[in-house]
Structure 1
Amino acid sequence: MPLRSLVTLTLLATAPLTAQAENFTTAAEVRPILESIKDQWIAIRVEGDEDYVFFTPIVSWRCGVQAVQFGFNDEDPTRELEMAACHTEFSNPNVMVDGDPIPLVTAPANSVQSVTIRMMYDDGSLSESVITRKQVLIP
């Protein structure tokens, strides 16, 4: 066996094993995902006489998030978003199960022009985003 192949084989055999796949249950794991979609943390849809504000993207990556507060239009983000617990008993801890809070808040139709969201990760770090209706309005 040529020396180069022997060295390569030895290095591969003694290299540390790859870490287990991430479970997406800590700030370190979910922050990069949530920060990359920061301008899409919500969606807004008009249904009858109400604005439906969906927080689905946040709730989908909630493990690793300690708290989410929000405010409509010029309000400070002081309203608390109710979120389900992280279901660590399942292979996908971010799964939603029966009885979990629905990631939806309603307001009078066409009244939500912007949403300010403040997120606290489980490591104590904060992230904030102001999202306008135009950015996330769905038909």
Structure 2
Amino acid sequence: MNRVTTMVLALAVAAGAGLAEETRVAEDQTPTGKFLTAGEVRPILEATKGNWIAVREFNGMDLLYFTHLLAWRCGLYEVSFAVNGGEMQRFDMPDCDPANAMAVPPEATVYLEYPLGSIETVAVELLYDDLARAGESFQRANVMTP
């Protein structure tokens, strides 16, 4: 894809811990019809915000699922999240596979484990490949799944 704009993102790591700099370049947003760009996936992700994450109690643990965002990861540079107002951290996602864009690879991490009942709130921030950001905060009760 063509690189059209350069932007430096400075992320505060922690108070007094320094500054991490990462260079990102906006990707070409020419529609592909295959949901590979921010312009194509943003309307879907905005319409399905309530499904970005899910919390499930299973086997004595809270499981924090990112399945929906994994399926729509093409068009995203990264997903960051914070549990209970903690520090934002990056959720590792596999690279986009343009031949099978919405498939979640079997080796992908789909959920993270936390102590049972410990997840009260989750903040999620998306960085699209056009460098736009979107975010949402979720209460446990609103994202619980059986």
Runs of 4+ in 1 over 6 A off after TM superposition: none
State the shift of 1:21 in Å. Answer: 6.6
Q: Deviations over 1:32-74 (max 9, x none)?
A: 0001111221111111221001111111100000011101011
The letter of the residue matching 1:87 is D
* Root mean square deviation, CA, Å: 1.5
Which protein is richer in strand relative to its size?
Answer: 2
- Map of 2:143 onto structure 1: 136
Alignment partner of 1:120 is 2:127: yes
Q: Deviations over 1:87-120 (max 9, x none)?
A: 12x2x32212343x22211110000011000110
**Alpha-carbon distance between aligned partners in 2 of 1:96 and 1:37, rounded to the nearest angstrom:** 18
Residues 55 and 63, structure 2, Cα contact 8 Å, conserved in 1? yes
- Map of 1:102 onto structure 2: 109
Q: Compute the TM-score of the two structures, normalised by the length of structure 2.
A: 0.74
- Map of 1:93 onto structure 2: 101
- Map of 1:82 onto structure 2: 92
**Alpha-carbon distance between aligned partners in 2 of 1:126 and 1:24, rounded to the nearest angstrom:** 18
**Alpha-carbon distance between aligned partners in 1 of 2:124 and 2:76, rounded to the nearest angstrom:** 13
**Alpha-carbon distance between aligned partners in 2 of 1:86 and 1:63, rounded to the nearest angstrom:** 5
Residue segments in structure 1 that go unaligned for 5+ positions in a row: 1-19
For the residue of structure 1 that corresponds to 2:97, the secondary structure is coil
For the residue of structure 2 that corresponds to 1:51, the secondary structure is strand
Where does 1:35-46 land on structure 2 (aligned, <5 Å)? 35-46=46-57
- Map of 1:64 onto structure 2: 75
- Map of 1:7 onto structure 2: none
Percent identity between the aligned chains? 32
Residue segments in structure 2 that go unaligned for 5+ positions in a row: 1-30
Alignment partner of 1:54 is 2:65: yes
The letter of the residue matching 1:84 is P
The letter of the residue matching 2:122 is V
Structure with more relative contact order (C-alpha pairs < 8 Å, separation 6 or more):
1
